[in-house]
Amino acid sequence: MAFLRLDPIDLKILDAIQRDGRITKLALADKVGLSPTPCWMRLRKLEKAGIVSGYRASVAMRLIAPVATVLMQVTLASHRQADFDRFERIIRDIPEVVACWSVGGGVDYVLKVMARDIEAYQRLVDGLLEREIGIDRYFTYIVTKTVKDESVVPVADLLPAQS
């Protein structure tokens, strides 16, 4: 896969819009050291390339209602591609599952579930088990305190070293 090469200004643009998706064109240009038109053209190029995949608001649910955040490990009974596809298709349609990662190691998936309370989470799990979507085992981890939940990706730190 060919990766798009980003220069320091592109990296500054990505950092700025991750921290403030509502930043004005003028403020973004000022922040990255460009005039507005070239800055806007660079941002559009990053969007068209799919590097900027969307803009979202972060909602502080704890200020609205008590919510149970649960991490769930899932192991499927069978490991055929059709089994993975079926599980993933169903999980994508469950709004309480806010993240799902296919992982290597002792389990097949790690899910982040947000439910009204633990009882609502258990009803969701019971419903999944009743649907017989291939779950062999699952393990539940109740989040008792969020230490860090960062949505800003440190793009510059994750790029391969330049030679």
Residue 137 has pLDDT above 80, yes or no: yes
pLDDT tens-place string over residues 91-125: 999 999 999 999 999 999 999 999 999 999 999 99
Number of alpha carbons in the 13 Å side-chain half-sphere of residue 9: 15
What is the pLDDT averaged over residues 139-144? 97
**What is the rounded CA–CA span in Å between residue 84 and residue 89?**
9
Q: Is residue 163 pLDDT above 60, yes or no?
A: no
Residues linked to residue 69 through DSSP beta bridges, in sequence order: 114
Task: Determine the average pLDDT of the residues in 9-21.
Answer: 94
According to the model, what pLDDT value does residue 1 have? 62
How does DSSP classify residue 134? S
